[in-house]
Amino acid sequence: MTPERFRDITSRYPVLKLAIVGDFCLDRYFDIDPARQEISIETNLPVHNVVGTRCFPGAAGTILNNLVALGVGTVWPVGFAGDDAEGWELSRALRGKAGVVLDHFVSTPERKTFTYTKPLLHRPGQPPEELSRLDQKNWTPTPAAVSDALISAAKAVAAEADALIVMDQVDLAGTGVVTEAVLGAVGGIASARPVLPIIADSRRGLGGFPQVIFKMNAAELAALSGASPTASLEEIQQRAVALARRNARPVFITLSERGIVGAVPSGEAWHRPCLPIRGPIDIVGAGDSVTANLTAALAAGATIPEALELAMAGANIVIHQLGTTGTASVAQIGALLFGGEGAAH
């Protein structure tokens, strides 16, 4: 990719309209100063004194954060939050993002707000150390009324969107946004608008998902296709092509330190390696950055190899941000790929 082509693709981001149907959670960071540690008089246990609290949209919200950082003009979150303090914080965090429109984000007393609370120890001169995380999740099926509201919202945004992301983040099927009924609606949208890029990702794997663009890691590909997670690059490309032909849609396979593979139904497959590591890293959020960059690039008219290159650059920037779930801007990606020549529009 040349700097001129990079600017051509990314200059279209401000007019894009992208939607995310998925599990939005509250990423809440407790910044702890170990120098202020005490012993509780009542319990004789250590007390971690929190000196700062940071709240961000997480899970599907991490994809949203990256789309916003890329300068995408309009982003519609389609999901839910509970009628609780965490839901208020999540809605506030979403509302504070440029270009985010909350018209299709559901607040409901029938669900708890999906929350990751991350205590971090901050020692001078050292990367933050994360203590045991505190999670808040839903363990019962999503009520039909909530699912129906999400389906109506997904259909409404799909009519206007340039691309759609489906992000299934929950551990227990049917307890989040991407219920069986919502997946059926996504399949209907894909049939009605076959040229609309719809990119799906699920931490439980994409078995049972409709024929859309699949984005998965090597372990998820192995579970779906029977390939070994440590299969050769050639075999992974072959499996990806077979899956792309089955779905009649592109397929993307992230391979951790080995990079990423993209394949299309015509039989072509491409590989892009990871960019060099430049110091300590934190891989949290790298996959969501890949999803955001793939989606924005494809919606802006990038080829598959171009989208792969942009996704790898975005992920490389994100993993070098410690103690937070990072993002990558167009300027940062351009500077990484081309130096000052690619950063300016």
Give the tens place of pLDDT for each residue, 143-163.
999 999 999 999 999 999 999
Query: What six digits make up the tokens of 140?
Result: 């019962």
Percent of the chain with pLDDT over 90: 86
The pLDDT value recorded for residue 319 is 80
pLDDT band of residue 341 (cuts 50, 70, 90) is low
Q: Would the pLDDT of 10 be above 60?
A: yes
Determine the straight-line distance between the first and last CA of the chain, rounded to whole angstroms: 16
Mean pLDDT of 39-50: 95
Q: Would the pLDDT of 344 be above 80?
A: no
Query: What six digits make up the tokens of 35?
Result: 């120098």
Q: Is residue 223 a contact partner of residue 207, using CB atoms and an 8 Å limit?
A: yes
Distance CA 21, CA 157 (A): 10
pLDDT band of residue 316 (cuts 50, 70, 90) is very high
The pLDDT value recorded for residue 274 is 87
Q: Would the pLDDT of 312 be above 80?
A: yes
Q: Would the pLDDT of 282 be above 70?
A: no
The pLDDT value recorded for residue 286 is 84
The pLDDT value recorded for residue 281 is 66
Q: How many CB atoms lie within 10 A of CB 284?
A: 20
Q: Would the pLDDT of 114 be above 60?
A: yes
Q: Is residue 26 a contact partner of residue 116, using CB atoms and an 8 Å limit?
A: yes
Distance CA 332, CA 242 (A): 35
SS3 label, residue 284: coil
pLDDT band of residue 276 (cuts 50, 70, 90) is confident
Mean pLDDT for the chain overall: 93
Residue 300: its H or E element? none
Distance CA 218, CA 231 (A): 9
Distance CA 16, CA 261 (A): 25
Residue with tokens 């299309």: 264
Class of domain 3-40+47-334: alpha beta
Distances (CA, A) of 158 to 67, 289, 332: 17, 22, 30
3-state helix, strand, coil in the chain (%, to 5): 40, 25, 40
Q: Would the pLDDT of 105 be above 60?
A: yes
Q: Mean pLDDT lowest for which of 97-106, 177-186, 311-320? A: 311-320
Query: What six digits make up the tokens of 151?
Result: 């389906």
pLDDT band of residue 169 (cuts 50, 70, 90) is very high
Q: Which long-range contacts (CB under 8 A, 24 or more apart) does 30-38 make?
A: 30/117, 30/118, 30/119, 30/120, 31/120, 31/122, 32/119, 32/120, 32/121, 32/122, 32/131, 33/122, 34/121, 34/122, 34/123
The CB-side HSE value for 49 (13 A sphere, CA atoms) comes to 9
Nearest partner of 89 among 67, 71, 72, 112, judged by Cα:
112
pLDDT band of residue 194 (cuts 50, 70, 90) is very high
Distance CA 58, CA 36 (A): 29
Distance CA 340, CA 39 (A): 51
The pLDDT value recorded for residue 76 is 98
Mean pLDDT of 29-34: 95
Q: Is residue 114 a contact partner of residue 166, using CB atoms and an 8 Å limit?
A: no
Q: Would the pLDDT of 343 be above 60?
A: no
Triad 330, 335, 337: Cα angle to 5°? 95
pLDDT band of residue 270 (cuts 50, 70, 90) is very high
Backbone angles phi, psi at 199, to 5 degrees: -110, 125
SS3 label, residue 212: coil
